[in-house]
Structure 1
């Protein structure tokens, strides 16, 4: 998306923090038609992004826009309309939500994406070192814990994520009724053993990596046509 000849593209990073992804993207960007929206639940994090020289020095029209936004809210992010986003980045975001917030978060993402738009996802997997280290007093629910600073973290299983992202999304987000589901393009478990030679420690990490897609209008037309043909065959 940062290549000079890529063309118009809008990227939304959810949970942007202090801009550790957004600013490197800006630095390597050669695409004059790139629009990058960085959103975070924390107003303090957004203030940090907005105070950076690279953000302040942007020429008009700005590449990067940073705003406070809760992915589990009923509203869409400032400056973004339904069907306006090409790519959504979700890096360690869903694990910080309560399971009862996942559906609304999915609705919002689905609403924001253009037909054919994509999601790049990375989060904690069940059995990760961080989960093993939690003490009993930090347990909230199955695979769901609270850290010492009060933030929460959930550890996913592969089939659980596959079911979550491929199920039909009902309800309303940003005033738009949703009835479709994401397509799971790729979903894999990334298991690694990291070695701290100085402390002689082996650390077993487990992350989930996913690539999801909102069906295009052509996909929907083909699906409806197939459904009609199946109905005729039954009759």
Structure 2
């Protein structure tokens, strides 16, 4: 099939529903009760049925298609944006995003309800069972019960020892004691910042107008949940804070530059359970990505995770860029002045592991989206990752 789509590489938006890859990454079917089928489950076996659904999963590219994509990237990367313009796009990046949200307000992106299928870590009380399994894995001990910061632990190899024997060896700590202490200290001296009393804390970086935050608050009714959200654009944060669904008792929105190493986040180190990066890391200069990820890793609790979904190499949006829009290798500027990078799995793995995180998931979503009305096909390449902060202080 031809590589053609609904996006003009110069940045002109022809179809706002799919351009920024922020639309639902799957199809909704009556057969599933109106719920979106998780990606990776709908396969195009008969090419004649391509327009029977809105999207197809794990679409294999032919060698010819791969070669055509490589050739197209070489062509649209041959002419680079002049250095003085590149400086402008970097220095005034916040203004370009402010203008974007002033124009589109909250009418551009759709709410990301698909997050709970792809990232169940965002659902209520997921952290309870996840904490137990992680501690079991790292310590080899059985956790009988978890009450807040208190852990009742049973070492299966020592269950036959008597209570008096245990009392005579009080100075001998269980291997899990250190992990328990690490968990307990997270809630010490945490007063004085938003969400300090929460038991499960989520931060979304690059929140836009709240298309992730508000679905999380709707879906996750955990009374211990607190959601932080930040964006480069003050206009976007204004739209979040003035939304009728914004609840300061459960959420804190703030302006923050992911690349600003001199400005601290409003929460202390090792205080977050989840950090969400949805099509945001790709918007910053490549040589600033590592420091940004490392600073985020610093905020995670042991066992906490970064959840990412972003653009993959040779995505339709990359192939549709016109010559003269390339800033550096695989890094482009759209017609509205916003920028985008296209990742490989290895690049993301290096970013996260260098920051001291361990891989839980790193997969490519090769998607064929279709516009049935216009009979158009759109080849999308997205990467989805989950990286966890280890419990062991030697590796975390």
Classify the TM-score, shorter chain.
Answer: 0.7 to 0.9
Match of residue 325, structure 2, among 121, 134, 138: 138
2:273 corresponds, among 79, 86, 97, to 86
Once the two structures are TM-superposed, the CA of residue 121 in structure 1 deviates from its matched residue by: 0.4
Q: Determine helix, strand or coil for the equivalent of 1:32.
A: coil
Aligned to 1:103: 290
Once the two structures are superposed, residues 96-142 of structure 1 have per-residue CA deviations (whole angstroms, 9 ceiling, x without a partner) of 01011112211211111111110100000011000000011101111
Report the equivalent of 1:112: 299
Deviation at 1:77, TM superposition (A): 2.1
2:393 paired residue among 205, 214, 220: 220
Match of 2:360 in 1: 185
Distance 2:300 2:314 in 1: 32
Contact 1:4 1:30 (8 Å CA) reproduced:
no
State the 1:206 CA deviation: 0.3
> d(CA) in 2 for partners of 1:34 and 1:113?
15
| Higher share in strand | 1
Distance in 2 separating the partners of 1:184 and 1:6: 18
SS in structure 2 at match of 1:130: helix
1:25 aligns with 2:205: no
Distance in 2 between the 1:157 and 1:126 partners? 6
The alignment status of 1:164 with 2:347, answered yes or no, reads no
Q: Return the offset for 1:82.
A: 1.1
Which stretch shifts more, 20-29 or 141-150? Answer: 20-29
Following superposition, the deviation at residue 41 of structure 1 comes to 0.7
In 1: Cα distance, 2:217 partner to 2:260 partner: 28
Q: State yes or no: 1:53 paired with 2:244.
A: yes
- Aligned pair partner of 1:77 in 261, 265, 276: 265
| Separation (CA, whole Å) in 1 of partners of 2:324 and 2:125 | 52
Tell me the equivalent position of 2:26. Answer: none
User: C-alpha deviations, 1:137-187, integer Å up to 9, x for none?
Assistant: 1011111100001111000011121222212x4xxxxxxxxxxx1111110
Aligned to 1:153: 340
1:211 aligns to what SS in structure 2?
strand
Q: Distance in 1 between matches of 2:123 and 2:343?
A: 31
- Root-mean-square deviation (CA, aligned residues, Å) is 1.8
Give how far 1:202 is off: 1.0
User: Cα distance, 1:4 vs. partner?
Assistant: 6.4
Q: Output the CA distance in 2 between the equivalents of 1:2 and 1:32.
A: 12
TM-score by length of 1: 0.82
Give the length in aligned residue pairs: 204
Once the two structures are TM-superposed, the CA of residue 28 in structure 1 deviates from its matched residue by: 2.0
Larger Rg: 2
Q: Which has the higher contact order (CA 8 A, sep 6+)?
A: 2
Structure-1 separation of matches of 2:372 and 2:278: 28
